[in-house]
Structure 1
């Protein structure tokens, strides 16, 4: 009898690309069925933090990992890490150093890695407004905000809205640490145990390998759930956020997670 796992991920192209095959039974799921629902990343973070016990497998921002590590175990597969793919800080005009304390800055959630990086790299930016990630660029373009931190599809489309790049927060992180930028990871509730964590990670890895070998299979599923419908943007999103670190964190990926979260390695086991 199959065991049903409640899977809670974002509708963004990297997640739908990664999980398409396992959701639709196109790979060996080792007796697991996945009941999927989709949410914005900050809603996912809140679900993991505030509704402990309702989720089995869930996507979170790495910045939220310290708050959920007691209840959830980090999986080796399914993460979004990499080089040159971090959040972007944008504005309509150049902002002087003395202006940042008064500048209104849109962020895609208090618990997101984007906000964590902004706090680390632009500590003077303190007037933050948490909002849905897809609403940030339009709000900056309309003059409701002086600046905004863009993730997901927004990082590829901001120039078309008349915005300019202030800083690539991922590039600044890489320059400071020499490590890939850890954006989001997949966690499993600890009630399932370490053996189940390895099992789910294997299934996710298998799903990624299938998606990479058969990209056309997930194309409609990805398109249906994407906020940005242009095929070129969806493909850029996948190529930026699905990579070798998605298959396995590896030593460098794990070190980056530990550096960002200030967690001890033993806490994640």
Structure 2
């Protein structure tokens, strides 16, 4: 079975057991490691892998061909994307969200949940709405903000732990804003499978892989660090602790409600294509 997920520690932790043939009855995996911006666009093509990790924000484009699986993804609290800046913008020391008006912000993908949350936040918090957006590879964003090539950056994942080393400050925690605004957890990354496949069986294999990871946390350490993009073991473990939780095993009603709230609001504002919300379940 062809599968695509990121080399980030949460994905390699979750899928380690299945990828290494440790799940009874599960088919052998042919793994493609790809940034979520790549998988978001792969899912919109007919030749995309059977199973993959994409942003929840990309679901409206692919739900006719792919089914959202209730496990394996990233959804939680206290784990949202951050808006980062330098200590000043145009000489404005300790800038606020208003300082982004008319500025340029780098984002890792225009179909990412981070970008969608940013657009919803900016409509409320930035005079004139969202500033100019520049799509930039994730690993280039913090250096570009630090070096003054861009006014602000939208970052995800391990950047929550490493941005101070770039001399940057957090202007906004979009996860905290979302939780306060809606009361829901933050939908970040989804696992999808082609509708022609047995989604219940695939979900069972993913849950078994999650259970194995939790029961044998040391077993995946080598695999995680081989793909951790120069992260320290401490940062990798912090990443896993933040993004792998009970929602990774089962979205449950709270998870589905959060996803419907995010995509329903985004569709109402024209940020994603209109779609049938019932396709999410």
TM range (shorter): over 0.9
Number of aligned positions between the proteins: 260
Deviations 1:178-204 (A, max 9, x none): 010000110001122xxx101001100
Q: Give the corresponding residue for 2:171.
A: 166
Report if aligned partners of 2:36, 2:55 keep a CA contact under 8 Å in 1: yes
Provide the rounded CA distance (Å) in 2 between the counterparts of 1:130 and 1:57.
25
TM superposition outliers: structure 1 runs of 4+ over 4 Å: none
Q: Give the corresponding residue for 2:262.
A: 260
Question: Does 2:21 align with 1:25?
Answer: yes
Report if aligned partners of 1:103, 1:125 keep a CA contact under 8 Å in 2: no
Report if aligned partners of 1:134, 1:154 keep a CA contact under 8 Å in 2: no
Q: Give the corresponding residue for 1:182.
A: 187
Q: Give the corresponding residue for 1:75.
A: 69
TM-score w.r.t. structure 2 length?
Answer: 0.89
Q: Give the corresponding residue for 2:216.
A: 214
TM-score w.r.t. structure 1 length?
Answer: 0.93
Report if aligned partners of 2:26, 2:205 keep a CA contact under 8 Å in 1: no
**Aligned residue among 12, 31, 37 for 1:16:** 12
Unaligned runs of 5+ in 2: 88-93, 124-128, 265-274
Q: CA deviation at 1:22?
A: 0.2
Structure 1 residues 78 and 155, CA gap change in structure 2 (3 angstroms): same
Give SS of 2:79's match.
Answer: coil
Q: Give the corresponding residue for 1:36.
A: 31
Provide the rounded CA distance (Å) in 1 between the counterparts of 2:277 and 2:101.
35
Q: Give the corresponding residue for 2:156.
A: 151
Once the two structures are overlaid, the 10-residue window that deviates more, 126-135 or 258-267, is: 258-267
RMSD: 1.3
Give SS of 1:33's match.
Answer: coil
Q: Give the corresponding residue for 2:56.
A: 62
Unaligned runs of 5+ in 1: none
Q: Give the corresponding residue for 2:144.
A: 139
Q: CA deviation at 1:53?
A: 3.7
Deviations 1:105-125 (A, max 9, x none): 111100000100000001323
Structure 1 residues 241 and 96, CA gap change in structure 2 (3 angstroms): closer
Report if aligned partners of 1:105, 1:125 keep a CA contact under 8 Å in 2: no
Q: Give the corresponding residue for 1:130.
A: 135
Q: CA deviation at 1:83?
A: 0.5
